[in-house]
Copies of this chain bind each other. A is one copy, B any other.
Amino acid sequence: MAATNEVFCSEVVGNRNFAALDNVYTAGARVLPPGAPLVSGREAIKTFWTGLVQSANAKSCTLTSVEVIPAGEAIVEIGRATLSFVDSPDPLEAKYVVYWRQEDGRWKWDVDIWNPNS
């Protein structure tokens, strides 16, 4: 799980390597972003994150697990996210819930929802 979170922050946000989202989300994953409708499927999720990271000019992020709940063969994670931007000194503080599933032997995000703290 830590490896997957690291891919998201370092590769996707940090290096803008959106193909690396293959290693973050399951093929049928659902993303529920604040201020937008549900996004379903990894290809649509790639389009979503490409647009958001580029338009917000995001620079880096950190993801911190607050709670990890075993749920059968899956895991529910509650966490804190910090997203930093090229053009602003003020990071966005958010919290999230991710439903994790294994795909191809790797733990990935199957359902991903977050919202800002303020």
Contact = CB atoms under 8 A, between A and B. Distances in A.
A23 interface: no
Interface in A24-80: 30, 32-38, 66-67, 69-74, 76, 78
Interface residues of A, number: 29
A96 B99 CA distance: 13
Interface in A61-115: 66-67, 69-74, 76, 78, 95-97, 99, 111, 113-115
A61 to B, nearest CB: 18
A35 B76 contact: no
Nearest to A75: B71
B67 A34 contact: no
